[in-house]
Amino acid sequence: MTFSMKRVMAIFQKDMKDLSKNIYITSTLILPLFFAFFYGRMDNLTIDVHYMVINLVLAVVTSFVQCAIIAEEKEKNTLRGLMLSPATLPEILGGKSLVSFILTIGTILICTMLTDYEPVNLSLVALAIIISILFYIALGTLMGLLSRSVVEASVLIMPVIFIFGFSSMFQPFAEEYPILSVVDYLPSIQLIEVAAAVESGSGFADVVGNLAIIFVWVLVAMVATAIVYKKREMDE
Amino acid sequence: MENVIEVKSLAKIFGNQTALEDVNFHVKKGETFGFLGPSGSGKTTTIKILTGQLAQTSGDAKVFQTPTSSINKPAYRKRIGVITDNSGLYSRLSIYDNLKLYCDLYDVPTKRIQEVLQMVNLTDEPKKPISKLSKGMLQRVTLARAFLHEPDLLFLDEPTSALDPANSKHIHDGLRRLNEKGTTIFLTTHDMTEAESLCNRVAFLNRGKIQLLDEPKALRRQFSDASVTLELKDGREIIVTGDAKGADAIHQYMATGQVVSIHSNEPTLGDIFVEVTGRELV
């Protein structure tokens, strides 16, 4: 299979230009920034609070932006135009994902500055965040492909924001409701565990299990996305 | 000459509704082939199958000697252009930005944008946002996009349906130029004048079946009774049969200086369609 970086960049540049004129989608960046600003005024923030903001960025910015730009392409029949062009699945989704990736990194950086978060081991935390971003991008793509319009995407993405953005809030109830113990395996919780372990001096070998769990989520989401994309190439 | 499209016993059934039934035809390289029929006759379904957007229920459909189920590869996509009624454009971006994206996707230099905008008569405002364009202008931008990479095979679904006569003529001239350069064109339309002026051969599609397939001229001859109408100086119009008796009558009227004009009674493609299918082309 051929891979053209030129086509990836063409789709990326088009999406950046388009997104810069799309107030509806870009306004979602405000929510995590508001939380970061709010918590940033408090002293001695715990790792859970830092990662509540970061997980919110991943759910709201990464997933929603990706979901909305894919859903809009479907709504306006432009996705079919891309599918009928020489651009392949990795090129189309690569170009579109690059937009969400850059917006996510930018928002996380601003949020961490606002909350004054400085991890003990930056490279390990960055690795965990980057793997998490891949999961949320794949999830957003999947939701976008399943939506018929941006409005429908906005509704579909709500449970994602709720489950992944605020998953740490469910953990205290796991003893009372055992079913909630599955929350421990969510990528958002795994990310918090990596960050907490890093803060207490753990190295790569100590968190490789957590990273592997997040990576499994990435693989599952990517496979599901590829299957749905292939189905969307054809009418029924 | 090599066949660019080959269709054999093609059928498509949606639920309990038959959209296409035993459709057979081929399109030769360099040909402009018209697929004519009223709304709901199966034209768009055929284009979707031929462009790999829809799977057939049975039968064979090949493009460039390749089953259409396997043409979703960049090498084939580069050779094909598709314009259907729901080909979308990016509404917040300008005409230029929309076309530039496709230049990059097809690896075409951006100077081609100016050429295709001339082809569709849209050179005045390349920076205008798509959201500010009329329906006719949108259709012209969509066509410009399909012309960008000068495909080997171009599928056009009702290309001039929203255009005024002047712009339709512009598009027709552009299509002729593309065809002269070697692009094979598969055109669906219910505009018989468009079909007559552009197509080397036409197929009449009615309720999912091809009823007739031939050159427009051959079809008109086949359905013509060879009669002519004489317009006389006294205002009368006389239909004269195309045989020896008719020839004598024409001679008589002309010899006595009564004839103002003579018109052939050859039917139009529209007349033939109605005669064959019993349906109007709407």
Predicted confidence (pLDDT) per residue in A92-140, tens digit: 999 999 999 999 999 999 999 999 999 999 999 999 999 999 999 999 9
B-chain CB neighbours of A226 within 8 Å are: none
Q: Considering CB atoms only, which of B51, B75, B101 is closest to A84?
A: B51
CB contact under 8 A, B54 and A80: no
pLDDT one-digit tens code per residue, A24-35: 888 888 999 999
pLDDT of residue A1: 59
The domain ranges of chain B are 3-220, 225-265
Lowest mean per-residue pLDDT among A150-164, A167-181, A219-233, B51-65: A167-181
Q: How confident is the model at residue A188 (pLDDT cuts 50, 70, 90)?
A: very high
The answer to which of A111-120, A154-163, B102-111 has the lowest mean pLDDT is: A154-163
Return the SS3 of B4. strand
Q: How far is B92 from chain A (nearest CA, A)?
A: 6
Residues of B in contact with A22 (CB under 8 A): 92
Nearest CA in chain B to A78: B88
Q: What is the mean pLDDT of chain B?
A: 90
**H, E, C per residue of A68-117:** HHHHHHHHCCHHHHHHCCCCCHHHHHHHHHHHHHHHHHHHHHHHHHHHCC
Q: Which residues of chain A neighbour B52 with C-beta distances below 8 Å?
A: 233-234
Where is B20: in which H helix or E strand? Answer: strand B17-28
For B227, counting Cβ atoms within 10 Å of its Cβ (0-12 exposed, 13-18 middle, 19+ buried), the class is: middle
Q: Which residue of A has its CA nearest to B71?
A: A84
Q: What pLDDT score does A210 carry?
A: 95
Close Cβ partners of A146 (under 8 Å, ≥ 6 residues apart): A156, A228
Q: Which residues are CB-neighbours of B29 under 8 A, at least 6 positions away?
A: B1, B2, B3, B4, B182, B184
Neighboring chain A residues of B145 at a CB cutoff of 8 Å: 81
Chain A: closest CA distance from residue B54 (Å)? 5
Structural domain span for residue A112 = 5-232
- Dihedral sign from CA coordinates of B121, B124, B128, B133: negative
> Using CB atoms, which residue from B54, B93, B105 is nearest to A235?
B54
Average pLDDT of A1-14?
90
- Residue ranges of B 29-48 with Cβ closer than 8 A to chain A: 48
Position B146 pLDDT exceeds 80 = yes
The reply to whether residue A86 touches residue B105, judged by beta carbons under 8 angstroms, is: yes
B254 has a pLDDT exceeding 70: yes
Q: Which residue of A has its CA nearest to B89?
A: A78
Res A171 pLDDT > 80 = no
Q: Contact A77/B91, CB-based, under 8 Å?
A: no
Q: Classify domain B3-220 at the CATH topology level.
A: Rossmann fold (3.40.50)
- Using CA atoms, how far apart are residues B63 and B7, in angstroms rounded to an integer? 9
Query: How many structural domains does chain A have?
Result: 1
Which pLDDT score, from 0 to 100, does residue A161 have?
Answer: 83
Residues of chain B found within 8 Å of residue A84, distances taken between Cβ atoms: 51, 53, 77, 80, 82
CA-derived radius of gyration, chain B: 22
CB within 8 Å: B86 and A2: no
Counting Cα atoms < 13 Å in the Cβ hemisphere of A53 gives: 26
pLDDT for res B54: 92
Q: For position A147, what pLDDT does the model report?
A: 92
Give the separation between CA B227 and CA B95, rounded to whole angstroms. 51
For chain A, the residues whose C-beta falls within 8 A of a C-beta of chain B are 2, 4, 6-7, 9-11, 14, 17-18, 21-22, 76-78, 80-88, 233-235
Q: What percent of chain B has pLDDT over 70?
A: 98
For range A191-209, the mean pLDDT: 92
Distance CA B16, CA B249 (A): 57
How is residue B132 annotated by DSSP?
A: G
pLDDT at B282 (0 to 100): 65
Which contiguous run of DSSP H or E holds residue B273?
Answer: helix B269-277
What mean pLDDT do residues B77-94 have? 88
Rounded to a whole number of angstroms, the distance from the CA of B260 to the nearest CA of chain A is 55
What ranges in chain A are assigned the alpha helix state H?
A: 5-20, 23-26, 30-40, 47-56, 64-75, 78-83, 89-115, 122-146, 150-160, 187-199, 204-232
Q: Is B211 exposed, middle or buried (0-12, 13-18, 19+ CB in 10 A)?
A: middle
Does residue B55 belong to the interface with chain A, where contact is any CB pair within 8 Å? yes
Q: Which token pair is B51?
A: 């462009």
Across the interface, of A7, A76, A77, the residue whose CB is closest to B105 is A7
Average pLDDT over residues B201-223: 92
d(CA B74, CA A88): 7
